[in-house]
Amino acid sequence: MWNLPLLKQLFDVKDVALILILGIPTSHVSRPDSMGWFLTRTGRYSVKSGYGLEQQTRQESTPLVFGPDTRSLQAQVWKVKCTQKLQHFLWQSLTGCIAVGDRLKSRDIQIDPQCLRCGMTAETVNHTLFECPPALQVWALSPIPTVPNRFPTGSLFANMAHLFSELPNDERMGCYPWLLWYIWKARNDKVLGNVDWDPYDIITKATAEALAWANAKEKQETGITRVVHSVEAISSGVKWMGHGRKQIVGLDWAGNITPPNRIGGSDLGHAMYVKNNKVEMVFETDCSDVVKMVSTPEEWPAFAVLLDEVDRSRTRFTSFSIVHIPRTNNTKADKLARSARTLPTDVYYVNSVSPAWIPELF
């Protein structure tokens, strides 16, 4: 428990209120202070969160600008179903960060900006990916529909917007990130090594890699199997309940505005504490973050105190594991947890029958 008079003595009143409202736990071990990053769930800094903060700050301090705004288009890049490398390439293309002749010339590099493949015009990003004759051949032969004066056009942003949101609902359309990537690779091979690619080779490689990625993604999402152990299991929603040999464990945790992963981490510690003389346990939770926290605690510094408690409690068991299960397989624990949270006091419930205050549980 926090020493409230000492908190008020050492901290500002607003900070004391935050400590109490956020439910920051106290540690049972001597742990030095450490730095954390408030803008991620784990407490570790990420470039994405830092960039988001910088963009938010810029928007708040920059006056309104009238004219075309491509930020929403750039944001769509990270939702495209492809590898992160290709997402980054799409973002670079939209922001003009690939080394075409026109961009190099704008940076005062002494270079002829003309397209070295066709020699017809300046080598811009849009020309390289969409309008150069070799690129036009690829688009014409690919599964992506081409419409005169609509796609491809002389506008890079219009072409990208078309690919992002105007393609037919057909799984074959998903190959366009790989088409753009191999069009770019073919350009580089021609400029740097005088090697020509056949348009059919580009399409074949692009569609094959797109299909391989989709299959791997599907296996990753559906290939997780649930291992059933012969030891007693405890399942968790936001709170905890056990099914093994008809045992029910329910706990309520104060602080309703606490993030769900922090609640889950706290409840894991509580569930381990009320183990009811069991020495072999499998804990099941529908909060995937809790499983990640226990597996890699060093990646979650914001939860260090809670994870210290979990690590200390797990020594009480001869066998301990925690696995993730879908929420649909954990509805009883979730109902028990939600009902417990409406009560005015903390609740610790261990019994072989459902509690009287949740008659609809079973």
Q: Which helix or strand (DSSP H or E) is residue 91 part of?
A: helix 84-94
Question: Which residue type does 109 have?
Answer: I
Per-residue confidence at 244, pLDDT binned at 50, 70, 90?
Answer: very low
Closest CA to 166 of 182, 144, 184: 144
Question: Which residue type does 196 have?
Answer: D
Task: Convert 304-331 to b/e letters by CB count within 10 Å (16 or more is b).
Answer: bbbbbbbeebbeebeebbbbbbeeeebe
- Of 44-58, 150-164, 240-254, 285-299, minimum mean pLDDT range: 240-254
Per-residue confidence at 4, pLDDT binned at 50, 70, 90?
Answer: confident
Q: 276 and 169 in one domain?
A: no
What whole-number distance in Å separates Cα of residue 343 and Cα of residue 362? 20
The residue to which tokens 């944001």 are assigned = 75
DSSP assigned state of 65: -
Per-residue confidence at 114, pLDDT binned at 50, 70, 90?
Answer: very high
pLDDT of residue 354: 61
Q: What's this model's pTM, rounded to 2 decimal places?
A: 0.52
Tell me how many domains the chain contains.
Answer: 3
Closest CA to 286 of 251, 242, 333: 333
Q: 205 and 297 in one domain?
A: no
Q: 193 and 82 in one domain?
A: yes
What whole-number distance in Å separates Cα of residue 79 and Cα of residue 258? 29
Q: Over range 286-296, report the average pLDDT.
A: 86
Q: Over range 269-287, report the average pLDDT.
A: 66
At 323-345, the pLDDT tens digits run 888 888 777 777 776 776 666 66
Q: Over range 9-23, report the average pLDDT.
A: 82
What whole-number distance in Å separates Cα of residue 52 and Cα of residue 50? 5
The pLDDT of residue 234 is above 80 = no
Does residue 241 form part of some domain?
yes
pLDDT of residue 151: 94
Q: 145 and 186 in one domain?
A: yes
Q: 132 and 171 in one domain?
A: yes
At 126-144, the pLDDT tens digits run 999 999 999 999 999 999 9
pLDDT of residue 122: 94
Q: 237 and 202 in one domain?
A: no
Per-residue confidence at 158, pLDDT binned at 50, 70, 90?
Answer: very high
Q: 280 and 333 in one domain?
A: yes
What whole-number distance in Å separates Cα of residue 12 and Cα of residue 6? 11
- 133 Cα distance to chain centroid: 39
pLDDT of residue 195: 94
Q: 148 and 277 in one domain?
A: no
Q: In this structure, what CATH number is given to the domain that contains residue 260?
A: 3.30.420.10
pLDDT of residue 68: 65
Q: 237 and 140 in one domain?
A: no
Q: 139 and 113 in one domain?
A: yes
Find the domain containing 3 and state its range: 1-32
Does residue 252 form part of some domain?
yes
